[in-house]
């Protein structure tokens, strides 16, 4: 239930919170996670909505630090795709304020920052007709940042969509359904370049001839290509995805970072055999299990892999995903729709019952705190899970060498204590036994590398 914040968030309490620079920076830059923090922010949003009521006709309005907090909270709501639950009264008032903002824009009238923030905390500002007119005015930094996030950048992405090349058709029924899901909710949600955040210099190198050719299959919103491009600035990277919305986000982030060794295109993995290219390295992390036939898509990618190339693969684990499978069954049985309202209602049910075994681990996941993450976890239109024996069988059939899993060093150390042999890390039978005893080992997914087995000397190619 939402906080009764009339008593919790008075004017003095809001002023004290607004003075917290760290909170304001965090709200505007990363998705806040944790049920207690979410409850706090829901109550704060209600209090700030009431505060905005007193200032929507006042060009000066609340103090700058309070307006800065309000704008930062609106940025947070945009980042998590408006995942917070809201009362019917909140929704009605937010809709009234949105309509007021629309009238002001249509009439060419000024809109105070408090109104922008109040609307932006419940709806994306770029969806308001004539929102682009807001960009022509001078705003204090906190409001300018909100408008950049909710108007300038989304409109830039929408305009860019027509420029994204289509490398293949997208005509398989499941591919079309998956594409529709990620068009509506691009995934994953990210804002900060992870390497720049660690203080590493930006990579700005142009494509270099002679570097490795890398294919990233299922690049989503670009976080994966960013990582590869910055770690391998000499590489030429082709990043593909079904979702044009995701690709537009990735392209904008790439331009902002000054990366020039990534080429983006819309494509269906199942149709990639027609492009006539091969790659020294292929990254297929978190994508094959969303195909109608993961192994068919895997074989298509293998056909594009150079004879001495490396493929990095990420697949869902049947054992590790068991809590999510159970949750998906409950979601289907109780009839929650995959709409924003349905996802919010599901989350509130889970939050109320968060200490129950069926939900406890899921509340701790990253994806639980964004709309696209919840949809990906609980409502994905296609999800397959594999076992290590199934992976081993596929690798044997396709004559592929297993090069090892990517895991936390502590997990690898525990495994080697139980399996001390020199070749144990590439022994899939040993890993299957280890996972049977430690079901959450591959909680995110199986992440591993493979390559084609080289022909023996004297054998015919």
What is the per-residue pLDDT across 335-369, written as a single tens digit (0 to 9) for each? Answer: 999 999 999 999 999 999 999 888 888 999 999 99
Residue 3 pLDDT level (bands cut at 50, 70, 90) = very low
* pLDDT tops 80 at residue 265: yes
Q: What are the tokens at 359? A: 């939900």
CA 242, CA 413: separation in Å to the nearest integer?
38
The mean pLDDT of the chain is: 91
How far is the C-alpha of 226 from the C-alpha of 203, rounded, in Å?
10
Residue 114 lies in a domain: yes
Cα dihedral 378→383→387→389 (10° resolution): 180
What pLDDT does residue 18 have?
87
H or E element: which one contains 400? strand 400-405
- Mean pLDDT, rounded, for 317-333: 93
pLDDT at 11: 74
Identify which of 443, 290, 244 has the alpha carbon closest to the alpha carbon of residue 362.
443
Read off the pLDDT band of 17 (50, 70, 90): confident
Encoding tokens for residue 356? 């129950």
* Structure confidence at residue 457 (pLDDT): 41
Tokens 């490398």 identify what position?
A: 167
Token digits of residue 311? 């493929």
pLDDT number for residue 198: 45
Residue 296: inside a domain? no
Q: Show the 3-state SS of 30-43.
A: CCCCCHHHHHHHHH
Taking 90 as the threshold, does the pLDDT of residue 438 lie above it? yes
Q: What is the mean pLDDT of residues 280-295?
A: 97
pLDDT score at 10 = 73
- With H, G, I as helix, E, B as strand and everything else as coil, classify residue 403: strand
Judge whether 262 lies within some domain.
no
436 in any annotated domain: no
> Taking Cα atoms as reference points, which of 10, 44, 46, 4 lies closest to residue 24?
44
Look at residue 208 and tell me whether its pLDDT is greater than 90: no
Burial per residue of 205-233, b for 16 or more beta-carbon CB atoms within 10 angstroms, e otherwise:
beeeeebbbbbbbbbbbbbbbbebbbebb
The answer to whether residue 276 is domain-embedded is no
pLDDT at 50: 82
* 456 confidence band (pLDDT: 50, 70, 90): very low
Residue 178 has what pLDDT? Answer: 97
Q: Rounded to an integer, what distance in angstroms lies between the CA atom of residue 18 and that of residue 63? A: 10
Strand order in the sheet with 305-315: 262-266, 236-241, 213-217, 279-285, 305-315, 446-452, 400-405
**Per-residue pLDDT tens over the stretch 46-85:** 987 887 776 554 444 578 898 999 999 999 999 999 999 9
CA distances from 37 to 3, 33, 44, 256, 363 (A): 12, 7, 10, 31, 13
* Selected residue with higher pLDDT from 213 and 421: 213
Q: Which domain holds residue 41?
A: 5-158
Rounded CA-CA distance 316/319 in Å is 9
pLDDT at 196 over 90: no
Residue-wise DSSP of 376-420: HHH--S----B-HHHHHHHHHHTTEEEEEE---HHHHHHHHHH--
Boundary of a domain, candidates 135, 158, 181: 158
Q: Please give the structure tokens belonging to residue 226.
A: 């960013």
Whether 425 is in a domain gets the answer no
pLDDT digits 0-9 by tens, 235-252: 999 999 999 999 999 999
Give 454's pLDDT tier (boundaries 50, 70, 90). Answer: confident
Number of Cα atoms under 13 Å in the Cβ half of residue 430? 17
User: Which pLDDT score, from 0 to 100, does residue 207 have?
Assistant: 47
Question: How many angstroms separate the first and last alpha carbons of the chain?
Answer: 67
End residue of a domain, out of 378, 407, 425? 378
DSSP-assigned beta bridge partners for residue 262: 237
Number of structural domains, the chain? 2
Q: Is 204 in contact with 234 (CB distance < 8 Å)? A: no
DSSP at 205: P
Q: Which residues contact 257 (CB under 8 A, 6 or more apart)?
A: 193, 196, 202, 203, 226
Residue where a domain terminates, one of 158, 177, 208: 158
Compute the average pLDDT of residues 420-430.
Answer: 95
Which pLDDT tens digit goes with each residue over 103-154?
Answer: 999 999 999 999 999 999 999 999 999 999 999 999 999 999 999 999 999 9
CA 161 to chain centre: 19
Interatomic CA distance for residues 186 and 338, integer angstroms: 14
- Indicate whether 41 belongs to any domain: yes
124 in a structural domain: yes
CB 323 within 8 A of CB 358: yes
Check: CB of residue 235 under 8 Å from CB of residue 127. Answer: no
- Supply the pLDDT for residue 75: 98
User: What is the residue whose two structure tokens read 């990253």?
Assistant: 366
45 pLDDT above the threshold of 50: yes
């Amino acid at each position: 239930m939402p906080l009764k914040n009339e008593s919790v968030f008075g004017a003095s309490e809001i002023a004290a919170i607004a003075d917290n620079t760290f909170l304001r920076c965090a709200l505007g830059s990363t998705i806040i996670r944790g049920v207690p923090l979410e409850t706090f922010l829901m109550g704060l949003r209600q209090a700030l909505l009431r505060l905005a009521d007193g200032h929507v006709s006042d060009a000066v309005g609340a103090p700058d630090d309070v307006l800065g907090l309000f704008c930062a909270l609106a940025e947070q709501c945009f980042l998590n795709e408006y995942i917070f639950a809201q009362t019917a009264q909140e929704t009605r008032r937010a809709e009234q304020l949105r309509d007021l903002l629309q009238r002001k824009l249509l009439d060419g009238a000024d809109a105070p920052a408090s109104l922008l923030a109040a609307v932006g905390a419940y709806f994306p500002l770029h969806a308001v007709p004539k929102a682009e007119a807001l960009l022509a005015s001078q705003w204090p930094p906190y409001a300018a940042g909100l408008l950049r996030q909710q108007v300038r950048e989304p409109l830039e992405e929408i305009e860019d969509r027509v420029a994204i090349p289509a490398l293949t058709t997208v005509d398989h029924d499941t591919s079309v359904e998956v594409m529709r899901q990620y068009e509506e909710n691009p995934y994953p949600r990210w804002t900060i370049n992870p390497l720049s955040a660690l203080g590493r210099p930006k990579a700005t190198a142009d494509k270099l001839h002679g570097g490795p050719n890398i294919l990233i299959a299922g690049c989503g919103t670009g976080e994966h290509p960013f990582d590869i491009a910055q770690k391998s600035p000499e590489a030429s990277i082709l990043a593909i995805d079904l979702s044009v919305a995701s690709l537009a986000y990735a392209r904008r982030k790439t331009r902002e970072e000054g990366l020039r060794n990534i080429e983006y295109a819309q494509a269906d993995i199942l149709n990639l055999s027609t492009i006539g290219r091969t790659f020294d390295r292929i990254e297929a992390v978190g994508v094959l299990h969303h195909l109608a036939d993961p192994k068919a898509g895997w074989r298509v990618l293998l056909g594009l892999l150079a004879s001495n190339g490396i493929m990095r693969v990420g697949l869902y684990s049947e054992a590790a995903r068991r809590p999510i499978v159970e949750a998906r069954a409950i979601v289907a049985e109780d009839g929650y729709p995959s709409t924003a309202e349905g996802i919010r209602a599901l989350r509130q049910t889970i939050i109320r019952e968060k200490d129950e075994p069926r939900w406890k681990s899921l509340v701790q996941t990253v994806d639980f705190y964004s709309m696209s993450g919840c949809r990906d976890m609980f409502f994905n239109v296609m999800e397959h899970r594999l076992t290590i024996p199934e992976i081993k069988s596929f690798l044997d059939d396709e004559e592929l060498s297993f090069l090892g899993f990517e895991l936390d060093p502590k997990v690898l150390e525990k495994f080697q204590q139980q399996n001390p042999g020199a070749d144990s890390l590439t022994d899939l039978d040993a890993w299957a036994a280890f996972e049977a005893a430690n079901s959450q080992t591959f909680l995110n997914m199986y992440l591993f590398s493979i390559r084609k087995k080289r022909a023996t000397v004297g054998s015919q190619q």
